[in-house]
Amino acid sequence: MTHQRKTILAALALLLLPGTAQAQKFVQAYSSISALNATFWIIQDAGFAKQEGLDTELVYIPSSSTVAQATLAGEVMISPANGQVIADVGLQGGDLVAMGGITNVVAFYIMATPEIKTIQDLRGKMVGVTRFGSSGDVGMRMFLTKYGLEPVKDVPMIQLGGLPEIASAMGKRTVHAAAFSQPLAYVAQQGGAHLLANLSKENIPFLHVGVTTTRKFIRERRAQAKAYLRAYGRAVHFMHTRKEESKAIIAKYTKIKDQGMIDGSLTYAYDFIEKVPLVKPAAFQVTLDDIAKKNPKAKAARPEQFFDNSLVQELLDEGFFVKLWGKNP
């Protein structure tokens, strides 16, 4: 049994202890050492889950595709799975849904080893991803396709587990490029990699990070799901208004000590994290169009099958975000 699995099961065991507030306790997870996961860290460490009456356990499960399976299995209640994973699971009859959109575009830096000068230099060179189906995998495939390179056929791809492992592999030249978020892009740079492309400039619609759960959870524990989204809103506000405390939390989870890199990570989060976490339909439509190339079921599917904006819309209607920010964010 892996350490990751033990952590999840240990957290689940707490739910069964006599006297535990079972109605409120649940496990949330984050899937990468990325500033895009900072809301999960802040919800936990700044006490917003507790403020909303929630007792959460935070675990780290590398890769969006892996954390989605834990969510589907009921081991995790809230996770940051991406749109590709949610759609793949949904087309197979699975019960995953995005109840919020943290990042609605592909948000990566493509880092490459020094000998890779242009995108075309990647032809025949190995690139690394955490897991097939992960946000980095999807982002890399979209990037390669846009520039006329067919993933796998023209550019071999290998799964390496996590961004730290990919950064290490690039330093050893085991792989020659990968999609990184901050602060791990900095780690790759320290190992000799350089920025080949900034995908923020490509503006590719994609649910890169979703507040992901199951429809069962929303149906049976709707009040807690809504409370979690309030905690999310407070975490994003905290990130923008209490910068030093936010940077301390980012430093804790990323293990980065370089102050400039921590500042860069916070800026990266500002650029991509939604203040009002509505899922944008276009973020799923692009995904469905891509899946349809191999899975005919995707052609008949609608983006609305894979997300539920009703809770965020309720918060909007109640004026939660305006009260939080003092204006319409």
State pLDDT tens for residues 57-67.
Answer: 999 998 888 89
Please state, rounded to an integer, the average pLDDT across all residues of the chain: 90
Q: How many helices (H) and strands (E) does the chain have?
A: 16, 9
What pLDDT is stored for residue 182 in this prediction? 84
Among all chains, which residue has been given the structure tokens 């709707």? 222
What pLDDT is stored for residue 20 in this prediction? 35
What pLDDT is stored for residue 10 in this prediction? 45
Segments forming the whole domain that contains residue 125: 109-201
Same-domain status, 143 and 164? yes
Dump pLDDT digits (tens) for 194-240: 999 988 788 788 999 999 999 999 999 999 999 999 999 999 999 99
Same-domain status, 244 and 219? yes
* CATH number of the domain bearing residue 22: 3.40.190.10
Residues 1-10: contacts with CB under 8 Å, at least 24 apart: 4/59, 4/60, 4/61, 4/62, 7/59, 7/60, 8/59, 8/61, 8/70, 8/75, 8/76, 9/75
What pLDDT is stored for residue 183 in this prediction? 83
Classified as helix, coil or strand, 156 is coil
**CA-to-CA distance for 112 and 179, rounded, in angstroms?**
9
Q: Residue 33 corresponds to which tokens in the numbers above?
A: 């050492």
What pLDDT is stored for residue 136 in this prediction? 87
What pLDDT is stored for residue 117 in this prediction? 97
What pLDDT is stored for residue 24 in this prediction? 55
Same-domain status, 125 and 232? no
Q: Is the pLDDT of residue 122 over 70?
A: yes
Q: Is the pLDDT of residue 22 over 60?
A: no
Q: Residue 62 corresponds to which tokens in the numbers above?
A: 């590398």
Same-domain status, 93 and 138? no
Question: Please, which pLDDT band fits residue 8 given cuts at 50, 70 and 90?
Answer: very low
What pLDDT is stored for residue 293 in this prediction? 87
What pLDDT is stored for residue 303 in this prediction? 97
Q: Is the pLDDT of residue 44 over 90?
A: yes
Q: Is the pLDDT of residue 87 over 70?
A: yes
* Proportion of the chain above pLDDT 90, given as a percent: 72
Same-domain status, 155 and 53? no
**CA-to-CA distance for 122 and 133, rounded, in angstroms?**
20
DSSP letter string over 173-241? TS-SEEEE-TBHHHHHHHTT-EEEEEGGGT--EEEEEEEEEEHHHHHHSHHHHHHHHHHHHHHHHHHHH
Tell me the mean pLDDT in the region 26-37. 92
Contact 315, 233 (CB under 8 A): yes
Among the listed residues 304, 268, 237, 302, the one whose alpha carbon sits nearest the alpha carbon of residue 46:
237
Dump pLDDT digits (tens) for 300-328: 999 999 999 999 999 999 999 999 999 99
Same-domain status, 102 and 124? no
Final residue of a structural domain among 142, 167, 201: 201
What pLDDT is stored for residue 1 in this prediction? 52
Contact 173, 113 (CB under 8 A): yes
Same-domain status, 214 and 91? yes
Number of domains the chain is built from: 2
Total-model pTM = 0.79
- Residue 86's CB is within 10 A of a number of other CB atoms, namely 27
Same-domain status, 285 and 160? no
Q: Is the pLDDT of residue 2 over 60?
A: no
Same-domain status, 221 and 315? yes
Same-domain status, 73 and 217? yes
Return the C-alpha torsion angle 84, 233, 47, 10, nearest 10.
Answer: -20
Same-domain status, 287 and 310? yes
Dump pLDDT digits (tens) for 10-20: 444 444 433 33
- Residue 264's CB is within 10 A of a number of other CB atoms, namely 17
Return the C-alpha torsion angle 111, 114, 118, 123, nearest 10.
Answer: -90
**CA-to-CA distance for 287 and 194, rounded, in angstroms?**
28
**CA-to-CA distance for 329 and 61, rounded, in angstroms?**
31
**CA-to-CA distance for 74 and 299, rounded, in angstroms?**
29
Same-domain status, 95 and 212? yes
Question: Please, which pLDDT band fits residue 101 given cuts at 50, 70 and 90?
Answer: very high
Q: Residue 77 corresponds to which tokens in the numbers above?
A: 């209640």
Please report how the helices 222-241 and 38-45 are oriented relative to each other, as an axis angle in degrees rounded to 10.
100
Final residue of a structural domain among 151, 166, 201: 201
Final residue of a structural domain among 143, 172, 201: 201
Tell me the mean pLDDT in the region 85-108. 94
